Amino acid sequence: MKKTFSIYLSCLALLLLTAVLTLPACAVDDMWTVAKSIIVDVYGKIVSISTVLAGLMSAIAVIGAKMASNQPKSDQAWDWLKRIWLAWAVINGIGAFIAYVAPLFNGLATLEP
């Protein structure tokens, strides 16, 4: 009986603690506005990081190509440089495409007659 009372008291305390510490959710904006701001923020960080890394990796690839001891190693470094530039162009191109295409779809997702 004492163990049952202890379990009951623990569950009651947990329920009371949950009720006291639960905060009401007050949304300032709708879900789509918040999602758009998060996507823009995250993509901005990705682009800035990719630009810095592309510059750093380009410098390393060029140094590797110039210091290569034979032609296949030099060709491999230039191939890596091309891949770095292509990946950077694709990452930045996605953002440019979305920035250009997104305004074209404004107002199309409505149900108004």
Three-state secondary structure of the chain:
CHHHHHHHHHHHHHHHHHHHHCCCCCCCCCHHHHHHHHHHHHHHHHHHHHHHHHHHHHHHHHHHHHCCCCHHHHHHHHHHHHHHHHHHHHHHHHHHHHHHHHHHHCCCCCCCC
Average pLDDT for 38-44: 84
Of the two residues 81 and 112, the one the predictor is more confident about is 81
Task: Give the pLDDT score at 47.
Answer: 85
- Residue 35: pLDDT band (50, 70, 90) is confident
Residue 49 has pLDDT above 80, yes or no: yes
Report domain extents, the chain: 27-105
Task: Give the pLDDT score at 32.
Answer: 75
Task: Give the pLDDT score at 90.
Answer: 92
Task: Give the pLDDT score at 46.
Answer: 86
Residue 84 has pLDDT above 90, yes or no: yes
